[in-house]
């Protein structure tokens, strides 16, 4: 990310100064859900901030994934990554579709385009990649493969809020992109999510599907679901949007400290910024080579816990190892050597805008003093 961050100055953001005032205003309007005042404001404000044409809010980040597959009428098989949060594959399963796992690229932990084409069968209808840790997938190569075989592309962009490549939002890639606004994300509405699309017609279809499929009071156009966001969380999201740039920049500074401290430490690998990319620093994963570092990832994980530091083995185990999916032929570890290795090496370190300098230094000291 450049040294100058985006500044949110949209007139759509409310003048009210705190959440209590917003709650009082919501109460005075007597409209607390079903596309109320703040819900509509937040959709518009997020479209402006994220540089996307159309966005539909949801109550969490999983239902947009399920709805995206419904909206595109995906059937058969979907090629996806085993290195993600389990909701990615669950959404495929909930739609009665067979997930097909392929290996990942160690350069960004996203799906490896070289593995996609070899996994395509006559039943393949879509690809569901993940912008893991907010690192953009190789969208151009993925789209070229999709175009060649007539496949849809749905990006799980749960980690990719505000991520841009050469000034353009990564959320505009593919047919649809989904976001998570869970409390752990760089931008959150406590719980929430969104689905980004490219046309007014598709947004209308998505909006019907998130409200049980209702087109009007007496017409249901599809087997929709209850995925609506309420006014309280929309108002919270509007307030959060005011400070998200400052939060991202604070995370950026923490990432710079981590990189400076760990560069040159044997057995510790991490990501640097990708050229031309505006990152959001939603996570800071390190990858532990046990032979070089002198202890395993799990040993370091336990050591961090002993020092009251909550690292996260994110993502471990692979989705493909969970019982609903481990019997699939594409789930074998032999088929997924890179993902298997990365899952055994990764720890995401604490990074958030309220992390104190003292705590940053504490994390660093535990990792660099590995033999103590």
Residue 312's φ and ψ, nearest 5 degrees, are -135, 130
Under the banding of pLDDT at 50, 70 and 90, the label for residue 6 is very low
pLDDT of residue 14: 60
The Cα 264–Cα 282 span in angstroms is 23
Give the DSSP letter string of 233-271. Answer: HHHHHHHHHHHHHHHHHHHHHHHHHHHHHHTT-TTEEEP
* pLDDT for 1 beyond 70: no
pLDDT, mean over the chain: 94
Average pLDDT in the 218-240 region? 95
- Residue 372, pLDDT > 80, answer no
Bridge partners (DSSP) listed for residue 55: 196
Task: Please give the Cα distance from 366 to 275 (Å, whole number).
Answer: 30
Which three-class secondary structure state does DSSP give residue 133?
Answer: helix
Tokens of 234: 């929309």
Domain residues of the chain, as ranges? 19-239, 244-368
Q: What is the pLDDT of residue 21?
A: 86
pLDDT for residue 326 is more than 60: yes
Tens-place pLDDT, residues 141-168:
999 999 999 999 999 999 999 999 999 9
> How high is the pLDDT of residue 18?
77
Which pLDDT score, from 0 to 100, does residue 252 have? 98
Average pLDDT over residues 235-244: 94
Share of the chain above pLDDT 70, in %: 95
Give the residue-averaged pLDDT of 338-352: 98
CA dihedral 172, 47, 33, 222 (to 10 degrees): -30
3-class state of residue 119 by DSSP: helix
Strand 277-278 and strand 124-128: pairing?
unpaired
Residues 6 or more apart whose Cβ sits within 8 Å of residue 162:
6, 49, 50, 186, 187, 244, 248, 278, 280
CB 95 within 8 A of CB 231: no
Mean pLDDT within 236-260: 96
Q: What local confidence, expressed as pLDDT, does residue 20 receive?
A: 84
- CA distances in angstroms from 166 to 130, 136, 161, 270, listed in the order given: 19, 12, 15, 22
Give residue-wise pLDDT tens across range 37-67. 999 999 999 999 999 999 999 999 999 999 9
pLDDT, residue 7, reads: 44
Round to whole Å and give the CA distance between 79 and 65: 14
Q: Using CA atoms, how far apart are residues 323 and 210, in angstroms rounded to an integer?
A: 29
SS (H, E, C) 290-340: HHHHCCCHHHHHHHHHHCCCCCECCCCCCHHHCCCCCCCHHHCHHHCHHHH
Alpha-carbon span 43 to 192, nearest angstrom: 12
Rounded CA separation 193/158 (Å): 8
Q: 19-239, what's its fold?
A: 3.40.640
Burial 337-366 (b: 16+ CB within 10 A, else e): eebbebbbbbbbbbbebeeeeeebebbbeb
Per-residue confidence band for 307, with pLDDT thresholds at 50, 70 and 90: very high
Kindly indicate the confidence band of residue 12, based on its pLDDT and cuts at 50, 70 and 90: low
pLDDT of residue 22: 87
CATH fold, domain 244-368, is: 3.90.1150
Judge whether 19-239 and 244-368 match in fold: no
Question: Token digits for 45?
Answer: 């404000």
pLDDT tier, 3 (very low <50, low <70, confident <90, very high otherwise):
very low
Q: Give the torsion sign (CA, 305, 310, 314, 320).
A: positive
Q: Mean pLDDT over residues 88-107, rounded?
A: 98
Q: How confident is the model at residue 10 (pLDDT cuts 50, 70, 90)?
A: low
- Nearest 5°: phi and psi at 288? -105, 115
pLDDT on residue 301: 98
The Cα 8–Cα 203 span in angstroms is 24
Dist. CA 74–CA 59, nearest whole Å: 22
pLDDT confidence of residue 5? 37
Buried b (16+ CB within 10 A) or exposed e, 11-25: ebbbeeeeeeebbee
Instruction: Please return the burial class of 4, using the count of CB atoms within 10 Å of its CB with bins 0-12, 13-18 and 19+.
Output: exposed
């Amino acid at each position: 990310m450049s040294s100058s961050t985006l500044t949110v100055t949209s007139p759509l953001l409310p003048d009210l100064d705190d959440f209590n005032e917003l709650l009082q205003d919501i109460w005075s309007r007597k409209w607390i859900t079903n596309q109320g005042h703040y819900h509509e404001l937040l959709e518009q404000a997020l479209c402006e901030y994220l540089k996307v044409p159309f966005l539909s809010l949801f109550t969490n980040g999983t239902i947009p994934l399920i709805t995206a597959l419904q909206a595109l009428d995906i059937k058969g098989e979907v090629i996806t990554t085993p290195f993600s949060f389990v909701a990615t594959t669950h959404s495929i399963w909930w739609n009665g579709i067979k997930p097909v796992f392929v290996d990942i690229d160690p350069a960004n932990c996203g799906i490896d385009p070289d593995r996609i084409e070899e996994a395509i069968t006559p039943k393949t209808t879509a690809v569901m990649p993940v912008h893991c840790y907010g690192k953009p997938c190789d969208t151009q190569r993925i789209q070229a493969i999709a175009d060649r075989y007539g496949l849809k592309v749905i990006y799980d962009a749960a980690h990719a809020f505000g991520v841009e490549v050469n000034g353009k939002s990564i959320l505009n890639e593919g047919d649809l992109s989904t976001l998570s606004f869970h409390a752990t994300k760089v931008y959150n509405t406590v719980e929430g999510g969104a689905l980004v699309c490219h046309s007014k017609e598709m947004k209308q279809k998505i909006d019907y599907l998130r409200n049980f499929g209702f087109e009007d009071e007496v017409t249901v156009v599809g087997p929709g679901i209850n995925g609506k966001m309420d006014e309280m969380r929309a108002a919270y999201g509007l307030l959060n949007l005011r400070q998200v740039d400052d939060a991202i920049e604070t995370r950026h500074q923490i990432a710079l400290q981590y990189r400076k401290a760990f560069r040159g430490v044997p057995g510790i690998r991490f990501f640097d910024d990708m050229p031309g990319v505006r990152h959001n620093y939603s996570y800071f994963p390190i990858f532990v080579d046990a032979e070089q570092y002198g202890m395993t990832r799990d040993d370091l994980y336990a050591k961090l816990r002993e020092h009251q530091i909550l690292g996260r083995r994110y993502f471990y185990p692979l989705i493909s190892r969970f019982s609903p999916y481990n019997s699939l032929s594409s789930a074998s570890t032999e088929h997924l050597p890179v993902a298997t290795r990365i899952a055994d090496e990764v720890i995401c370190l604490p990074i958030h805008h309220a992390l104190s300098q003292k705590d940053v230094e504490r994390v660093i000291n535990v990792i660099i003093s590995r033999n103590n």
